[in-house]
Structure 1
Amino acid sequence: MVGQVAFGGRISDFLDSRCVSTIMGIILQNNLFEPRHQMCPRNANYVAPPFELNHSQTIEYIKKSFPDVELPSLFGLHENAELSYQKSESDSIVQYVQQMLPSDQGSAGLTVQQLDQKVLQQLNEIIAQLPKKLKADEITIPFNIKLADGSEMPSPYASVLRQECQRYNKLLGKISQFTALAVQGLAIMSNELEQVYKGILSNTLPQVIKSASYP
């Protein structure tokens, strides 16, 4: 019944209701009324308060005994889910701070031509440091996998390594494409080139490059 109650921001559609009903089905069971019942099997912090406590004592027990922040194990998730969430939040905060900074930070007093020259100089430095593309077709793994019948087969790591090389070459190609066009002046200012321009000035990774990078 708890999972069927709809209220804005929390339970607003069928999927929310199904999720809450599933969680409540795990928590709200007959053994909930047993003394010192552990409500979360994977976490010993969530123990039901003693029955003899009154309302104020129960509230105080919850404040002192339960964690201030709900742990992932309470929702049946792995502990690494908390790390992923914190990383995502940290990345968002850093991104917001960078967006609040002036786009010409460190370039105060420079004219447009001087800013362009600064960007071109950094682009040339990037081009000079770019490694050559990997030759994925020439990659081999110097050992085979032995099968149960004694025969051998080529290592599957070779295929994985070739795929990684292809992804790496794709990233290098994307970087080379935009840096070369910008330096040579062979393309008009597009949204993607503007991202590269602003990214160099603000020392951030442009989305057009990030989309081709590793996830």
Structure 2
Amino acid sequence: MLNLGILISGRGSNMESILKAIKKKKIPINPAVVISNKHDAKGLKIAEKLGVNVEVFESKGFKGSREEYDKELISILTKYGVTPKNGLVCLAGFMRIISPEFVKKYKNRIINIHPALLPSFPGLDSQKQALEYGAKYSGCTVHFVDSGMDTGPIIIQAIVKVKENDTEKTLSKKILKEEHRIYPEAVNLFARKKIRVSGRKTIII
């Protein structure tokens, strides 16, 4: 069985939706470890409650480079069996850009969720961008992580209608509901070996 490592920085609501789906035996994967780069991340307590190992590796005050930080992160993942051969890494509100070395080592084994219909509105404040552009539809995207900013092959997307009276807060809430639905679905597809990457595209088998 594959070993799953989840990286968080805050509450980790997407982490929680994945872990609960695993607990209900909907995803055949071992939740090996949750790692936070912040000691006060609320998601750590949620993970512990769900019986998952937690580790904290503070990024604030870390003296080394991004590459050196990621090297230590990889050693923690490896300790729990989350390896490039037998692991999957999920970014769930992890507020750090991971290094090209990390991406290369775990090629097509790191996935992320983004609150927009990529390739539209990558980066920060996606919901705000969608409202400012007058988008009629927004949503969320689960994608593989590559060395670009939200540019990796797309696995699943969910669409949300943008209403005239939507604010950043109301739109974010609607999108988050869909995030909690499709992220576990993407992890399940990966765990069951139902995803094949071909160039920029993913093929669901």
TM-score band, normalised by the shorter chain?
under 0.3
- The structure with the largest helix share of the pair is 1
In terms of fraction of residues, the more strand-rich structure is 2
TM-score (structure 1 length as normaliser):
0.20
Q: Output the TM-score relative to the length of structure 2.
A: 0.20
Higher relative contact order (CA 8 A, sep 6+): 2
Q: Which has the larger radius of gyration?
A: 1
